């Protein structure tokens, strides 16, 4: 228990406070324990207080170089003790993906700051959560970090909505995720992107890897650099210019127009055959079933994935115990699959690190 | 009066009537002059009406009569209120004539001369005036045929002389010459060609000159006898041909013979004598040249189709035999080429597959490496933690308690530090914000001031422009004033008018004074008369009452009545005298005006003319009877 708690409490990295004052300046006024200049700049970009006519986004989150950031922004009412501040954002950086937990926590911190006007109180709660995992909230309740499980965060998205928006085309997203390709999602509203993209890694549930998710990226050199070092990712942009950057994506999802485009160089790897049609039909059928819940749909998809992987593993030579089974190109060729399926299995093996080198 | 007459006569003259210069007043106007003046005015006012009228009095009386009548008619048509008849023109009286001429003069349109001086001031007027002045100037000059006119504007077409300087251009012919010449030309004594010509402007000219001279010396040009133009006409196509040949050679160099480093000098050598760049001066062109040659070289390494070999197959044998052989050879070649092609295709495909495999493996390996690195870091951290835990494990409970205490203490300390930090941070932040606000305000103020300044500057500019405009206007008006004819001394007239106005005012004052005096007197008279009547009535009553009783009173009463009557008669006589005197004055005035009308003399003239008309009638009657 102690170890679990210890592991958990190391997840939060820091907390920061950004204020917008009556002069119209947005300043980073306080942080604990420390931040780098790079991170500061990036977070100033992410919080919606810079820029003249940006609308207020209450809660945004994203990832940058394996650090998750969660930003809650509030407007300061006139009655508060903070006289020179019009808006402020509380930024929390952490190592894990758990939007609900950190949204709740930052809300508490916001209210505390509004009431007391001093970050010291905020820090007390932060340290309490850091050391004990619990803190008192303003409304006679308490915030327990163990109430917010990671798995719940993974399953919180609605896969059914995704399938209902894209139908059979969901199999393109499935393929891209399986093959660890780069997906870029565009929508003018960040909340829509966040809602949509958090569900996508659930399509490859066997990996349970949400570190490929970068839900809020700007077309900025640093962020794009950080993005490029990842092999495959899901990146969300609110800037429509991203559609003119084919170097950034293999699959482009225009969420606003519900269109999926595969970029030219990736078309060869993403060719789809009978297998994909099967998978697509399964996904659609499963999602359309009104009796099934989201988690059941995800389960169905993951079963199918496991089937494919087991099939793939069966082609491999028997390997030493403990190591992954490896297969070679020739073995695959001997099975004489149709070219699209063979291509897919090839790439899948590479993605699952099952290729013999 | 004199002045008024002069003005009237002047305006009549301007209207076109021919009035002699010495006539200065209307008294001197005879019937002819009167007729001439009226006809002149009518001609200006109503050309249609006056078409049948002549300014000269015809000799015949009846004609004169008719003329007078028509003039009278015309003037009445114009709207003259008084009665007019032929007598107003044939026997003019001064006051009537004055009124008629004034009436006509008023009707005259304003002077065209005056019209032209009315300023249409403005820039267009200035421009028109300038044009007018220039035209006047040109008109004033005597005309000269264009060819003889002195050349004025030769300045802007000044042809520049071409300065040519001789310089030494090393020629490639010297390759065959002695090495000494080469040494000399490449050495330090001979500077590069452009540096030999110090003057920049002359460089281009010198080069052109040298080039032209060299063109003249081209080998095909045995045409030194020909005209220069014919030579040049042939030159361009010849140059193109030369270039094509030399380049063509380079391109068609086959795989067997690469053409490395063909110096530009050598190339141009083949073109003409001594027109190469001086050695040792590798221009960018030369390098580019070499580069393209190198590319050509590479291109020839690619599986050659050897077009040059094809012509070599054309051997001069008999035609049919030749064709068969040719075809067989071609087919064999084709087969070999196709085999080769297939081989290449296969190898490309294999290479592609290899590339794909390698890419996938690379991707996989990279992903594995990154994963490994990440897991290593995580495990390192976990190991560190566990190490510490293991160290503390022996005395677990107490250590745990101690740890908790330490954690609490450090948490408290951190919070304490944070509150201390707050004490520093908050005032600094507040100060920063305040300063920023003040700066913004100051910027706002300064921008306001700048805007105001701008407005003021614009006002200043506008005022300056206005002042300049007014000054120009003033100058223009002064110039116009100078050019105006100076005979009309308006100031004198205005002076007189003002004097007259002043005197009239004084007279009016006097008249009002007299009138008031008269009124006062009249009032006195009335008052006294009234008083008199009342006194008399009272006395009369008094005395009459007593008169019934007393005789002496009766007598007194009779005397009173007589006195009253006599006095009233006296008063009546005085009043009558006054009335008669007034009548006398009026009659005297009338006599004056009538005598001015020269009625008697006119009457005599009329009688004479009547007699003349009668005679004419008699004469006409006689002629009629005769005919």
* Residue A350, both tokens: 């590479």
Shared-domain flag, residues A111 and A194: no
Shared-domain flag, residues A132 and A165: no
Mean pLDDT (whole number) for B467-484: 91
Is the CB of A127 less than 8 angstroms away from the CB of B411? yes
* A7 in a structural domain: no
Beta pairing partners, A64: A67
Instruction: Please enumerate, as own/partner, the contacts of A299-304 that have beta carbons within 8 Å and a separation of 24 or more.
Output: A299/A205, A301/A159, A301/A174, A301/A202, A301/A203, A301/A205, A302/A205, A302/A206, A304/A279
pLDDT, position B266: 56
Shared-domain flag, residues A138 and A205: no
Spatial CA neighbour of B202 closest among B252, B165, B239, B174: B165
Q: In whole angstroms, what is the distance from residue B444 CA to residue B432 CA?
A: 18
pLDDT, position B547: 82
Strands A233-237 and A182-186: parallel
- Which residues of B, range 403-422, sit inside 8 Å of A by Cβ? 407-408, 411, 414-415, 418-419, 422
pLDDT, position B40: 83
Shared-domain flag, residues A143 and A158: no
Q: In whole angstroms, what is the distance from residue A90 CA to residue B220 CA?
A: 90
* Residue B468, both tokens: 């300049």
Helix (H, G, I), strand (E, B) or coil at B121: coil
SS (H, E, C) chain A: CHHHHHHHHCCEEEEEEEEEECCCCEEEEEEECCCCHHHHHHHHHHCCCCCCCCCCCCEEEEEECCEEEEEEEEECCCCCCCCCEEEEEEEEEECCCCHHHHHHHHHHHHHHHHHHCCHHHHHHHHHHHHHCCEEECCCCCEEEHHHCCHHHHHHCCCHHHHHHHHHHHHHHHHHHHHCCCEEEEECCCHHHHHHHHCCHHHHHCCCCCHHHEEEEECCCHHHHHHHHCCCCEEEEECCHHHHHCHHHCCEEEECCCCEEEECHHHHCCCCCCHHHHHHHHHHHHHHHCCCCCHHHHHHHHHHHHHHHHHHHHHHCCCCCCCCCCCECHHHHHHCCCCHHHHHHHHHHHHHCCCECC
Is the CB of A231 less than 8 angstroms away from the CB of B411? no
Shared-domain flag, residues A263 and A196: yes
> pLDDT grade, residue B492 (50/70/90)?
confident
- Which residues of B, range 437-496, sit inside 8 Å of A by Cβ? 437, 440
Answer whether residue B63 shows pLDDT above 70: yes
Instruction: Please state the φ and ψ torsions of residue A297, each to the nearest 5 degrees.
Output: -60, -45
Residue range B2-109 forms a domain whose CATH class is: mainly alpha
B429 lies within 8 A of chain A by CB: yes
pLDDT, position B255: 42
Domain count, chain A: 2
Vertex B399, ends B396 and B404: CA angle to 5°? 125
Instruction: Report residue A300 CA to chain centroid gap.
Output: 22
Determine the longest span between alpha carbons in chain A, in angstroms: 76
Q: In whole angstroms, what is the distance from residue B533 CA to residue B543 CA?
A: 15
Domain stop point among A148, A174, A190: A148
Q: Are B105 and B19 within 8 A, CB to CB?
A: no
Q: Which residues of A touch B414 (CB under 8 A)?
A: 32, 123, 127
Shared-domain flag, residues A191 and A283: yes
Residue-wise pLDDT tens digits, B299-336: 444 444 444 444 444 444 567 888 999 999 999 999 99
* A3 in a structural domain: no
* A4 in a structural domain: no
* A299 in a structural domain: yes
> pLDDT grade, residue B294 (50/70/90)?
very low
pLDDT, position A332: 79
Secondary structure letter of residue B83 according to DSSP: -
Q: Which residues of B touch A32 (CB under 8 A)?
A: 414, 418
Mean pLDDT (whole number) for B534-546: 89
- Report the length, in residues, of chain B: 627
- The percentage of residues in chain B with a pLDDT greater than 90, rounded to a whole number, is 32
User: Torsion angle of alpha carbons B145, B147, B148, B153, nearest 10°?
Assistant: 120
Nearest residue of chain B to residue A344 (CA atoms): B360
Q: Which residues of A touch B422 (CB under 8 A)?
A: 118-120
Is the CB of B357 less than 8 angstroms away from the CB of A30? no
What lies within 8 Å, CB to CB, of A178 at 6+ separation is A204, A305, A348, A351
Residue with the bigger pLDDT between B615 and B25: it is B615
Secondary structure letter of residue B256 according to DSSP: T
Answer whether residue B347 shows pLDDT above 90: yes
For chain A, residues with pLDDT lower than 70 are 1-9, 52-53, 317-324
Shared-domain flag, residues A240 and A179: yes
Is the CB of A231 less than 8 angstroms away from the CB of B367? yes
ipTM for this model: 0.82
Residue-wise pLDDT tens digits, B547-594: 888 888 888 889 989 999 999 999 999 999 999 999 999 999 999 988
Q: Name the least confident of B256-260, B404-408, B503-507.
A: B256-260
> pLDDT grade, residue B257 (50/70/90)?
very low
Nearest residue of chain A to residue B428 (CA atoms): A29
What lies within 8 Å, CB to CB, of A28 at 6+ separation is A16, A17, A18, A35, A40, A43, A44
Q: In whole angstroms, what is the distance from residue A215 CA to residue A235 CA?
A: 5
Is the CB of B364 less than 8 angstroms away from the CB of A6? no
Nearest residue of chain A to residue B359 (CA atoms): A350
Which of B401, B429, B435 is the best substitution to test chain A (most A C-beta atoms within 10 A)? B429
Is the CB of A23 less than 8 angstroms away from the CB of B366? no
Is the CB of A120 less than 8 angstroms away from the CB of B436? no
Q: Are A338 and A295 within 8 A, CB to CB?
A: no
Considering only the beta carbons, identify the residue of B360, B385, B415 that sits closest to A120: B415
Mean pLDDT (whole number) for B495-523: 95
* Residue B290, both tokens: 């070499």
* A2 in a structural domain: no
Helix (H, G, I), strand (E, B) or coil at B558: helix
* Residue in the block written with tokens 């007729």: B35
Helix (H, G, I), strand (E, B) or coil at B204: helix
Most confident of B268-272, B345-349, B370-374: B345-349
- Report the length, in residues, of chain A: 357
What lies within 8 Å, CB to CB, of B60 at 6+ separation is B616
Compute the mean pLDDT over every residue in chain B, rounded to the nearest whole number.
79
* Residue B129, both tokens: 């005036």
Q: Which residues of A touch B365 (CB under 8 A)?
A: 357
* Residue in the block written with tokens 């408290």: B412
Q: Are A81 and A102 within 8 A, CB to CB?
A: no
Strands A12-21 and A251-254: unpaired
Nearest residue of chain A to residue B416 (CA atoms): A120
Spatial CA neighbour of B271 closest among B224, B209, B208, B215: B215
Is the CB of B436 less than 8 angstroms away from the CB of A346? no
Shared-domain flag, residues A186 and A88: no
Shared-domain flag, residues A136 and A43: yes
Is the CB of A357 less than 8 angstroms away from the CB of B429? no
Shared-domain flag, residues A192 and A243: yes
Spatial CA neighbour of A132 closest among B404, B180, B155: B404
- The percentage of residues in chain B with a pLDDT greater than 70, rounded to a whole number, is 77
* Residue A292, both tokens: 């099934």
Q: In whole angstroms, what is the distance from residue A29 CA to residue B118 CA?
A: 79
Pairs of CB atoms within 8 A across A/B = 63
d(CA B411, nearest CA chain A) in Å: 7
* Residue in the block written with tokens 């001594």: B274
Q: In whole angstroms, what is the distance from residue B464 CA to residue B469 CA?
A: 8
pLDDT, position B76: 87
Beta pairing partners, A32: A15
Domain hosting residue A66, numbered range: 12-148
Domain residue spans of chain B: 2-109, 160-302, 315-392, 395-508, 551-596
Mean pLDDT (whole number) for B108-132: 69
SS (H, E, C) B177-188: CCHHHHHHHHCC
Q: What is the CA radius of gyration of chain A?
A: 23
* Residue A335, both tokens: 């099975």
DSSP string, B148-198: GSPP---TT--PPP----------GGGGTS-HHHHHHHHSTTS--HHHH--
Which of A8, A124, A316 is the best substitution to test chain B (most B C-beta atoms within 10 A)? A124
Is the CB of B433 less than 8 angstroms away from the CB of A84? yes
Mean pLDDT (whole number) for B13-39: 77
Residue-wise pLDDT tens digits, B356-377: 888 888 888 988 899 899 999 9
Burial class (CB within 10 angstroms; exposed 0-12, middle 13-18, buried 19+) of B108: middle
Domain stop point among A89, A115, A148: A148
Question: In the sheet that A85-94 helps form, which strands lie side by side, from edge to edge?
Answer: A26-32, A12-21, A85-94, A67-75, A59-64
* A226 in a structural domain: yes
B367 lies within 8 A of chain A by CB: yes
Q: Which residues of B touch A25 (CB under 8 A)?
A: 433, 436
> pLDDT grade, residue B153 (50/70/90)?
low
Nearest residue of chain B to residue A352 (CA atoms): B364
CB-CB neighbours of B16 under 10 Å: 15
């Amino acid at each position: 228990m102690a170890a679990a708690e210890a592991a958990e409490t190391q997840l939060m990295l820091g907390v920061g406070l950004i204020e917008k004052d009556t002069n119209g300046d947005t300043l980073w006024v306080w942080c604990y324990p420390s931040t780098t200049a790079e991170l500061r700049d990036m977070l100033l970009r992410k919080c919606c207080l810079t820029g003249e006519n940006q609308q207020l986004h209450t809660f945004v989150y994203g990832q940058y170089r394996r650090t998750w950031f969660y930003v809650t922004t509030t407007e300061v009412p006139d009655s508060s003790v903070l006289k020179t501040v019009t808006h402020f954002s509380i930024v929390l950086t952490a190592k894990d993906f758990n939007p609900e937990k950190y949204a709740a926590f930052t809300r508490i911190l916001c209210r505390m700051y509004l009431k007391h006007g001093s970050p010291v109180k905020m820090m007390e709660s932060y340290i309490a959560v850091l050391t004990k995992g619990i803190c008192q909230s303003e409304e006679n309740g308490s915030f327990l970090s163990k109430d917010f499980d990671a798995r719940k965060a993974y399953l919180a998205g609605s896969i059914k909505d995704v399938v209902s928006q894209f139908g059979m085309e969901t199999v393109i997203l499935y393929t891209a995720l399986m093959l660890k390709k780069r997906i870029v999602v565009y929508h003018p509203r960040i909340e829509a992107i966040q809602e949509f993209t958090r569900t996508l890694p659930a399509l490859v549930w066997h990996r349970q890897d949400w570190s490929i998710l970068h839900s809020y990226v700007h077309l900025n050199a640093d962020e794009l650099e950080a993005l490029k070092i990842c092999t495959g990712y899901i990146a969300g942009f609110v800037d429509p210019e991203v559609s003119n950057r084919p170097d950034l994506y293999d699959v482009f999802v225009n969420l606003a127009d519900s269109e999926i485009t595969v970029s030219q160089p990736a078309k060869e790897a993403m060719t789809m055959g009978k297998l994909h049609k099967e998978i697509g039909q399964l996904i659609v059928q499963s999602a359309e079933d009104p009796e099934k819940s989201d988690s059941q749909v995800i389960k169905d998809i993951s079963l199918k994935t496991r089937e494919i992987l087991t099939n793939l593993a069966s082609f491999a030579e028997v390997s030493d115990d403990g190591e992954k089974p490896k297969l070679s190109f020739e073995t695959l060729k001997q099975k004489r699959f149709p070219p699209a399926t063979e291509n897919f299995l090839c790439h899948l093996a590479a993605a699952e690190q099952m290729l013999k080198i | 009066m004199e002045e008024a007459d002069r003005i009237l006569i002047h305006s009549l003259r301007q209207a076109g009537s021919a009035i002699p210069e010495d006539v200065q007043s209307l008294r001197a106007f005879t019937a002819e002059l009167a007729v001439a003046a009226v006809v002149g005015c009518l001609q200006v006012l109503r050309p249609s009406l006056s078409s049948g009228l002549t300014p000269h009095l015809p000799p015949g009386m009846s004609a004169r009569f008719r003329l007078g009548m028509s003039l009278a008619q015309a003037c009445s048509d114009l709207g003259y209120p008084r009665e007019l008849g032929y007598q107003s023109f044939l026997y003019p009286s001064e006051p009537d004539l004055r009124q008629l001429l004034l009436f006509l003069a008023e009707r005259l349109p304003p002077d065209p001369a005056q019209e032209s001086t009315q300023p249409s001031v403005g820039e267009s007027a200035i421009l028109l005036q300038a044009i007018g002045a220039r035209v006047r100037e040109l008109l004033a000059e005597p005309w000269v045929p264009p060819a003889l006119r002195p050349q004025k504007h030769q300045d802007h077409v000044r042809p520049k002389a071409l300065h040519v300087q001789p310089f030494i251009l090393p020629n490639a012919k010297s390759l065959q010459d002695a090495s000494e010449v080469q040494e000399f030309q490449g050495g330090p004594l001979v500077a590069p060609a452009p540096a030999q010509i110090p003057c920049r402007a002359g460089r281009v000219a010198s080069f052109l000159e040298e080039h032209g001279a060299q063109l003249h010396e081209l080998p095909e040009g045995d045409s030194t006898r020909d005209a220069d133009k014919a030579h040049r006409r042939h030159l361009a196509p010849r140059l193109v041909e030369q270039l094509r040949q030399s380049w063509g050679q380079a391109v068609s160099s086959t795989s067997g013979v690469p053409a490395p480093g063909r110096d530009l000098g050598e190339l141009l050598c083949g073109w003409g004598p001594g027109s190469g760049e001086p050695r040792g001066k590798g221009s960018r062109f030369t390098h580019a040249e070499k580069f393209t040659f190198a590319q050509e070289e590479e291109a020839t390494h690619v599986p050659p189709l050897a077009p040059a070999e094809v012509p070599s197959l054309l051997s001069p044998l008999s035609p049919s035999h030749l064709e068969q052989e040719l075809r067989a050879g071609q087919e064999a070649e084709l087969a070999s080429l196709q085999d080769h092609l297939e081989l290449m295709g296969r190898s490309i495909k294999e290479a592609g597959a290899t590339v794909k495999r390698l890419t996938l493996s690379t991707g996989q390996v990279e992903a594995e490496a990154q994963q490994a690195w990440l897991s290593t870091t995580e495990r390192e951290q976990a190991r560190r933690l566990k190490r510490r835990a293991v160290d503390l494990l022996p005395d677990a409970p107490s250590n745990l308690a101690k740890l908790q205490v330490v954690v609490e203490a450090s948490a408290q300390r951190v919070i304490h530090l944070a509150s201390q930090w707050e004490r520093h941070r908050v005032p600094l932040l507040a100060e920063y914000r305040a300063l920023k606000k003040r700066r913004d305000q100051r910027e706002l103020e300064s921008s306001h001031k700048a805007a105001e300044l701008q407005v003021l500057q614009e006002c200043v500019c506008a005022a300056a422009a206005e002042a300049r405009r007014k000054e120009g206007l003033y100058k223009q008006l002064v110039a116009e004033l100078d050019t105006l004819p100076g005979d009309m001394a308006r100031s004198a007239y205005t002076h007189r008018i003002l004097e007259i106005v002043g005197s009239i005012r004084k007279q009016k004052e006097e008249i009002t004074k007299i009138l008031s005096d008269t009124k006062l007197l009249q009032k006195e008279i009335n008052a006294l008369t009234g008083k008199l009547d009342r006194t008399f009535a009272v006395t009369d009553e008094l005395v009459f009452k007593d008169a019934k009783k007393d005789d002496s009173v009766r007598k007194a009463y009779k005397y009173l009545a007589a006195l009253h009557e006599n006095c009233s008669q006296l008063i009546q006589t005085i009043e009558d005298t006054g009335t008669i005197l007034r009548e006398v004055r009026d009659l005297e005035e009338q006599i004056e005006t009538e005598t001015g009308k020269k009625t008697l003399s006119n009457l005599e003239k009329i009688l004479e003319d009547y007699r003349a008309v009668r005679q004419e009638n008699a004469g006409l009657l006689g002629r009629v009877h005769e005919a």
